[in-house]
Amino acid sequence: MNISQAAQHSGLSSKALRHYESIGLVTPARKANGYRHYSENDLETLRFIQRARACGFSIEEVRTLLGLRDDPGRHSRETKQLVHEKLSMLEAQLRDMLAMRETLYSFIDSCAGDDSPDCAILQQLSGQPCK
């Protein structure tokens, strides 16, 4: 199938397919006219990439996961460890985002939000004590 069809079947854009090819995550065959030809195996790889990226895995982590997927001698503990590391990182990011949310709520609560030029939010961000 051609790149447009592969994009439609994989849920990715044609641009993403070209990018993944350029960095070596997928290698579609080429027809005599130079057009890409995506096999069913290529589609499975593209769907794998799409799902892994949707789970937050970086390109390099996807590359590692693809290597594990294609390695008949793999050990599931390697994959589990990689997912544990990703989960730990996401949980840390979530904690940071929740702390930012609380800070933003406190900014909102401290601001009169009226016609006055004094703004407690800007003062706090500037490191100035609020009046």
The rounded distance, in Å, linking the Cα atoms of 53 and 87 is 14
Q: Which amino acid is at 29?
A: A
pLDDT per residue rounded down to tens, the chain (131 residues):
999 999 999 999 999 999 999 999 999 999 999 899 999 999 999 999 999 999 999 999 999 999 999 999 999 999 999 999 999 999 999 999 999 999 999 999 998 889 988 888 998 899 876 65
112: which residues sit within 8 A by CB, 6+ positions away? 118, 120
| Displacement of CA 33 from its chain's centroid (Å) | 34
Residue spans of the domains in the chain: they are 1-74, 76-131
CB atoms within 10 A of CB 12: 19
C-alpha 82/C-alpha 28 separation (Å) is 27
Taking Cα atoms as reference points, which of 67, 26, 24 lies closest to residue 45? 26
CATH code linked to domain 1-74:
1.10.1660.10
What pLDDT does residue 129 have? 66
* β-bridge mates for residue 37, sequence order: 29
pTM of this prediction?
A: 0.80
Contacts of 57 by beta carbon, 8 Å cutoff, 6+ apart: 65, 86
